[in-house]
């Protein structure tokens, strides 16, 4: 018979689950758990400077590895500071377990010091959440949290543990086994056969890959399907890397900031094979006018995504890797010469504006110079805004989990802590975080954590001293009434980085910017690389709000 406190039990169960890094910040209501964590020889704790940073570090670990990652926060403001990172994980289907301290059971509901109903607050932004009311429940709740986070469509789970539950003594014969994912849904062979028939009969099919392909580890199967059936393939923001961007069948990212030819190819499709994507409004524009001539095959592990935005002709609920494996032997080999030559002609008629941009002090040139200095083993994270779209458009992604970005929630401040999480989980990789001056300031405090952990994270800061995407939209859609989008002050980011103890270089003043950039990227440890970007450079092409994807402006 083992006897221990609830806090010690949590730490043992995390260790047994394989958790080796936890990001968090202690506070009164979670001190028993931190006391127990101090005795762990297996788990490395990363002390963030803001709980949102801890949440995004956990996300970075989970996004790069596919395994649920853990963050800790105390009750009250500690817990509410996690909320944005949890919501972000929910919208991008990232497996994460957030453990929060709570005031003692008897004080819940009394407006006790640092009490908030984080359970109630996180109902709509978690895949599931728990308020643990007795220490015995932990034996079930902790493995269940991991099982839920990683099963089916992944997502965040919150476990709120009152301080007295952390201190209660629990006795158990054996620890529960570490959680494993639930079995995937049974294969719907009739629907799979019907999907194969539609693919074989289609004249102008397009494969549309979403983040589910990355989560399910189905990139290889998806590329095989494309090659076998001759399917031009587009990817959502979340799926970049599923097919190498220079693969002859890749037509790049679709949607609001897609290349013109991508959206025109989709317009002509007679069959759309949607794999692990959810017809998000940024990807498809006006839903009724998206792929207007196409029948739709929709494969998703989450049944509630099927028929949600567009009625599918064939809807298949299942793990996309397994469904694609079952689909492959039923799909005929096809060269599809006529359709693919049509796609090629659209590609050459509408060349992308980011090709052959060489000056590393321009936005596209900088993205390409970073890519040229690195190989495909590097991880590329971004913050949110213009720089994010420029990187999504121009960086040559070639493998799954190479690309970490906040897609669904679009959270500025995501980049630096998520990049740190990636570096914590895979220490031998170089991790680049493209950021903007607006985004960087939203979690700039994590530079202190970065300096402490001395992670191999390179922050490439595109500085236009404004909220660039807001500035762009005010110029394009609000009669050039620029308001609250240009900064009046201009902080010295090189000094800021150096003040946190992080080396920094400024490409603005470098005699050989390409050489300085390469040297900064190749020197182990953190670095901030500052580049001024012309504020008048906008993200093009762009589909205006509410328009169909074919009504692009610019580019």
Residues that bind other proteins (CB under 8 A): 119-120, 123-124, 127-129, 131, 148, 281, 302-304, 306-308, 410, 469, 473, 477, 545-546
Quick check: 517 and 531 in contact, CB under 8 A?
no
- Which residue, 30 or 157, is less far from other proteins as judged by CB? 157
Quick check: 433 and 457 in contact, CB under 8 A?
yes
Q: At its nearest, how many Å lie between other proteins and the CB of residue 98?
A: 16
Look up residue 234 and give its two tokens.
């587009």
* Listed residue (65, 123, 127) closest to 97, CA to CA: 127
- Which residue, 165 or 231, is less far from other proteins as judged by CB? 165
Q: Quick one: DSSP state of residue 553?
A: B
**C-alpha to C-alpha distance for 415 and 87, rounded to whole angstroms:** 15
**C-alpha to C-alpha distance for 429 and 374, rounded to whole angstroms:** 11
Q: At its nearest, how many Å lie between other proteins and the CB of residue 414?
A: 14
- Which residue, 128 or 313, is less far from other proteins as judged by CB? 128
- Burial class of residue 180, CB neighbours in 10 A (0-12, 13-18, 19+): exposed
Q: What are phi and psi of 216, to 5 degrees?
A: -85, -5
Q: Got the DSSP string for 53-98? A: HHHHHHHHHHHHHSS-EEEEE-STHHHHHHHHHHHHHHHTT--EEE
Residues 6+ apart with CB under 8 A from 3: 169, 170, 171
Quick check: 398 and 245 in contact, CB under 8 A?
yes
**C-alpha to C-alpha distance for 319 and 151, rounded to whole angstroms:** 10
- Which residue, 15 or 281, is less far from other proteins as judged by CB? 281
Q: At its nearest, how many Å lie between other proteins and the CB of residue 377?
A: 32
User: What's the order of all strands across the beta sheet hosting 205-209?
Assistant: 250-253, 233-235, 205-209, 271-275, 295-300, 314-317
**C-alpha to C-alpha distance for 364 and 357, rounded to whole angstroms:** 6
Q: At its nearest, how many Å lie between other proteins and the CB of residue 349?
A: 28
- CA distances (Å), 74 to each of 54, 120, 138, 445, in order? 12, 16, 18, 18
The rounded Cα 41 to chain-centroid distance in angstroms is 30
- Which residue, 204 or 236, is less far from other proteins as judged by CB? 236
Q: At its nearest, how many Å lie between other proteins and the CB of residue 109?
A: 11
- Which residue, 473 or 519, is less far from other proteins as judged by CB? 473
- Which residue, 307 or 349, is less far from other proteins as judged by CB? 307
Q: At its nearest, how many Å lie between other proteins and the CB of residue 310?
A: 12
Q: At its nearest, how many Å lie between other proteins and the CB of residue 124?
A: 5
Q: At its nearest, how many Å lie between other proteins and the CB of residue 418?
A: 19
Q: 136 in helix, strand or coil?
A: helix
Q: At its nearest, how many Å lie between other proteins and the CB of residue 172?
A: 21
Helix intervals (H) in 125-170: 138-150, 163-167
**C-alpha to C-alpha distance for 26 and 193, rounded to whole angstroms:** 54
- Which residue, 21 or 126, is less far from other proteins as judged by CB? 126
Q: At its nearest, how many Å lie between other proteins and the CB of residue 157?
A: 9
Q: At its nearest, how many Å lie between other proteins and the CB of residue 546?
A: 3
Q: Please state the length of the chain.
A: 555
CA angle 315, 320, 322 (to 5 degrees): 110
- CA distances (Å), 315 to each of 187, 210, 221, 222, 271, in order? 12, 15, 19, 17, 13
**C-alpha to C-alpha distance for 474 and 465, rounded to whole angstroms:** 16
Q: At its nearest, how many Å lie between other proteins and the CB of residue 457?
A: 26
Q: Which residue has the tokens 């002509």?
A: 268
Q: At its nearest, how many Å lie between other proteins and the CB of residue 149?
A: 11
**C-alpha to C-alpha distance for 101 and 463, rounded to whole angstroms:** 38
- Which residue, 292 or 545, is less far from other proteins as judged by CB? 545
**C-alpha to C-alpha distance for 464 and 68, rounded to whole angstroms:** 36
- Which residue, 124 or 479, is less far from other proteins as judged by CB? 124
């Amino acid at each position: 018979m083992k006897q221990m406190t609830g806090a010690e039990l949590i730490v043992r169960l995390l260790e047994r689950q394989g958790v080796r890094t936890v990001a968090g910040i202690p506070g009164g209501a979670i001190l028993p758990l931190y006391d127990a964590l101090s005795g762990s020889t297996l788990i490395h704790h990363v002390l963030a400077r803001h709980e949102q940073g801890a949440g995004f570090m956990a996300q970075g670990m989970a996004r790069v590895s596919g395994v649920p990652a853990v963050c800790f926060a105390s009750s009250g403001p500690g817990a509410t500071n996690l909320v944005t990172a949890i919501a972000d994980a929910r919208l991008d289907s990232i497996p994460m377990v957030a453990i929060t301290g709570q005031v003692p059971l008897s004080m819940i509901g009394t407006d006790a010091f640092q009490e908030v109903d984080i359970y109630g607050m996180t109902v709509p932004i978690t895949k599931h959440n728990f308020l643990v009311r007795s220490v015995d429940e932990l034996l079930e709740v902790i493995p269940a949290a991991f099982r839920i986070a990683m099963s089916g469509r992944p997502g965040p789970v919150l476990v709120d543990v009152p301080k007295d539950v952390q201190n209660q003594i629990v006795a158990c014969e054996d620890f529960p086994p570490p959680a494993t994912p639930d079995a995937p849904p049974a294969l719907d062979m009739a629907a799979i056969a019907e999907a194969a028939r539609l693919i074989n009969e289609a004249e102008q099919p397009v494969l549309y890959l979403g983040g589910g392909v990355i989560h399910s580890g189905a990139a290889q199967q998806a590329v095989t399907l494309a090659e076998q059936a001759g399917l031009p393939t587009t990817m959502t923001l979340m799926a970049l890397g599923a097919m190498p961007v220079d693969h002859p069948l890749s037509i790049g990212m679709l949607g609001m900031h897609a290349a013109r030819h991508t959206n025109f190819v989709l317009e002509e499709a007679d069959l759309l094979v949607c794999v692990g994507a959810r017809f998000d409004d940024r990807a498809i524009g006006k839903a009724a006018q998206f792929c207007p001539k196409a029948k739709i095959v929709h494969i998703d592990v989450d049944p509630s995504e099927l028929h949600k935005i567009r009625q599918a002709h064939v809807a298949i609920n299942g793990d996309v890797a397994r469904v694609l494996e079952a689909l492959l032997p039923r799909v005929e080999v096809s060269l599809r010469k006529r359709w693919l030559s049509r796609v090629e002609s659209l590609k050459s008629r509408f060349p992308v504006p980011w090709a052959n941009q060489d000056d590393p002090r321009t936005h596209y040139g900088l993205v390409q110079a970073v890519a040229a200095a690195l190989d495909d083993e590097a991880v590329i994270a971004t913050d949110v805004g213009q720089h994010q779209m420029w990187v999504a458009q121009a960086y040559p992604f070639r493998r799954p989990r190479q690309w970490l970005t906040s897609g669904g929630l679009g959270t500025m401040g995501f980049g630096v802590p998520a990049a740190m999480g990636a570096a914590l989980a895979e220490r031998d990789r170089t991790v680049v975080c493209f950021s903007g001056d607006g985004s960087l300031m939203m979690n700039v405090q994590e530079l202190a954590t970065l300096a402490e952990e001395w992670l191999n994270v390179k922050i490439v800061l595109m500085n236009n001293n404004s909220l660039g995407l807001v500035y762009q939209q005010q110029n394009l859609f609000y009669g050039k009434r620029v308001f609250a989008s240009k900064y009046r002050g201009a902080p010295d980011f090189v000094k800021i980085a150096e003040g946190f103890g992080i080396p920094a270089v400024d490409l603005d003043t470098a005699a050989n910017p390409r050489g300085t950039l390469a040297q900064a990227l190749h020197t182990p440890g953190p670095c901030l690389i500052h580049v001024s970007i012309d504020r008048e450079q906008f993200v093009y092409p762009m589909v205006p709000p509410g328009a169909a994807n074919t009504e692009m402006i610019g580019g």
